[in-house]
Amino acid sequence: MYKIRIDWKNEVEDYLFITFGLLMYAVGWTVFLLPYGIPSGGLTGVSALIYYVTGLEMQVTYLIGNVFLLLCAMKVLGLKFCIKTIYAVLLLTFFLWGMQRLLLAQEGDGAVQLPRYLGDDQGFMAVIFGSSLCGMGLAQCFLHQGSTGGVDIVAAVVNKYRHVSLGRMLLYVDIFIVSASYPLLHDWQRLAFGFVDMFVCNMVLDYVMNYVQQSVQFFIITKNPQEIYEGISKELDRSATLLPGTGCYSQQPVSVLMVVAKKNQSVALFRLVKAIDPTAFISQTKAEGVYGEGFAKLK
């Protein structure tokens, strides 16, 4: 019987990548988007709008909003996802607070306006740099089972049950939030920049996610097919097909597991097989056009 094992090295690696992704996300906001008053989507976008209108720093409303969403998502997404998301929410709150303090301190005592390092008339370039960093940061969090919270949690819930990409789901919500910014800001240029930010951020997110989440096919020749299958089922949420085989050299019967998974699950699968059967033989190939349960619908 396979028992789920906690690999602390892998857990530490996940948290390091999530931390790096959050740092990119915070840099994108505080260095490029906030100084130019760019509206954006997500809960951070809502928090930024409140900041632009009232002056209340965005990390305050961001943290409050996430408390409610995390309580709702705990049952659907599981404890592991939520623990990493709680970590991400708290750390991003700290990064947003700390980086604003750092940037304001560089401007001198009494400074209240974040510096515009690209120049006063470079709003478009600020959008490109800021949204690209935010998209890459989001992707790092999602790929390592974390999230920046907010509507990312909603997108992850929908993605769990429907074959809708994370970027596309976020896009639907972001269109509404960015559109709602005009009655508050009354600035067509900033509204246009908000839409550019929305599309660039989600395009980068989808590109990084889809690159890693390509489907791959494995053939695993092993002495412990049932234990490996149980591990794949429990830890990767994937199924497998058991094929009978015969070794041409040894003329002995062998068991072959055929598994189709996402590319970003490859490392976890190799680690799992190595822990159960270090002598197993594994073949991995890229799978083009995978249809069926757990993948794209057959059309």
CATH at residue 230: 3.30.70.120
Distance between CA atoms of residues 106 and 104, nearest Å: 5
Residue 299 reports pLDDT greater than 60: no
Same-domain pairing of 196 and 135: yes
Share of the chain above pLDDT 90, in %: 36
CB 124 within 8 A of CB 31: no
Domain end: 150, 179, 212, which one?
212
Residue 295 is assigned to a structural domain of this protein: no
Tokens of 243: 């094929």
What is the DSSP code (8-state) at residue 235? I
What pTM value is reported for the model?
A: 0.71
Average pLDDT, the chain: 84
What is the DSSP code (8-state) at residue 4? -
Same-domain pairing of 45 and 188: yes
Residue 162 is assigned to a structural domain of this protein: yes
Distance between CA atoms of residues 219 and 225, nearest Å: 11
Q: What is the pLDDT of residues 240-272, one digit of tens each?
A: 889 988 888 888 888 899 998 887 788 888 889
Q: What is the pLDDT of residue 156?
A: 66
Residue 293 is assigned to a structural domain of this protein: no
Same-domain pairing of 55 and 171: yes
Its domain, for residue 250, covers: 215-286
At residue 280, φ and ψ (nearest 5 deg) are: -65, 150
Distance between CA atoms of residues 242 and 255, nearest Å: 7
Q: What is the pLDDT of residues 20-63, one digit of tens each?
A: 999 999 999 999 999 999 999 889 999 999 999 998 999 999 99
Residue 123 reports pLDDT greater than 80: yes
Domain end: 212, 246, 261, which one?
212
Number of domains in the chain: 2
Residue 282 is assigned to a structural domain of this protein: yes
Residue 1 is assigned to a structural domain of this protein: no
pLDDT, mean of residues 132-147: 86
- Res. 10 pLDDT band, cuts 50 70 90: confident
Same-domain pairing of 111 and 222: no
Angle between helix 151-161 and 42-54 (nearest 10): 160
Same-domain pairing of 103 and 156: yes
pLDDT, mean of residues 11-15: 86
Domain end: 166, 185, 212, which one?
212
Same-domain pairing of 237 and 196: no
Residue 160 is assigned to a structural domain of this protein: yes
Same-domain pairing of 25 and 134: yes
Strand 281-286's sheet: what is its strand order? 241-246, 253-262, 215-222, 281-286
Same-domain pairing of 134 and 279: no
Residue 47 is assigned to a structural domain of this protein: yes
Distance between CA atoms of residues 20 and 292, nearest Å: 35
Distance between CA atoms of residues 55 and 216, nearest Å: 49
Same-domain pairing of 253 and 225: yes
- Residue ranges of E strands in the chain: 215-222, 241-246, 253-262, 281-286
Instruction: Output b/e per residue, 48-85; b: 16+ Cβ within 10 A.
Output: bbbbbeeeebbbebbbebbeebbeebeeebeeebbebb
Same-domain pairing of 261 and 166: no
Same-domain pairing of 121 and 263: no
Same-domain pairing of 70 and 115: yes
Residue 266 is assigned to a structural domain of this protein: yes
Residue 195 reports pLDDT greater than 90: yes
Residue 205 reports pLDDT greater than 70: yes
